[in-house]
Amino acid sequence: MAILEVLHYPDPGLRKKAVSVETVDESCRILAKDMLQTMYENNGIGLASTQVNVQKRLVVIDLSEDKNEAIYLINPEILTSEGTGESQEGCLSVPEYYDTVMRAERITYRYQDLEGKVIESEADGLLSVCIQHEIDHLDGKLFIDYLSPMKRRRLRKKLEKQEKQEKQEKQEKNQAKIL
């Protein structure tokens, strides 16, 4: 298994729309396992392929404390949604930022499992929110898109500054090694 690199906002890769998985094969299963490992490594509860710069409709989720209840969703789609509620969210692609967005409370959804079998199910609570958040990723959408433009601008500036600082620190470290 491999740990993959997670893209950070505003990386343009996060805006790409993922395409359907035609056949669920071994390469798909390997990607799913790598994504799961990457998610665990970063202490996330959900990860979409778009976040590791792969444009295939594949999502991994694990809401358990012990990281032993992995859910793999291939070609997931929401069939019906009901109610709306506030959801406090963060994202591995928007580090250290949390905000409240509105999500449907209950959903029914369809997906394929790692064997390619089509399954229909329903979800509420955290699982419902998580599935909505991850399907958004597959469509090139981020949870911060639901925030006001002003809030988003401020966040973007902050993250760009952060990234610049990290780059500079890295450079300084590299130089230190040369000396």
Which value, in Å, is the radius of gyration of the alpha carbons in the chain? 17
DSSP-derived 3-state class of residue 127: helix
The sign of the CA dihedral 123, 124, 125, 131 is: positive
Bridge partners, 81 (sequence order): 107
| Of 134, 160, 163, 166, catalytic | 134
Q: Which is nearer to Zn ion, 58 or 91 (CB)?
A: 91
Closest distance of CB 44 from Zn ion, Å:
8
Closest distance of CB 137 from Zn ion, Å:
6
Tell me which residues touch Zn ion (CB under 5 A): 91
Nearest residue to Zn ion on Cβ basis: 91
Q: Which is nearer to Zn ion, 90 or 121 (CB)?
A: 90
Closest distance of CB 117 from Zn ion, Å:
26
Whether 134 sits among the annotated catalytic residues: the reply is yes
Q: What is the DSSP string of 145-170?
A: GGS-HHHHHHHHHHHHHHHHHHHHHH
Q: Which residues are catalytic?
A: 134
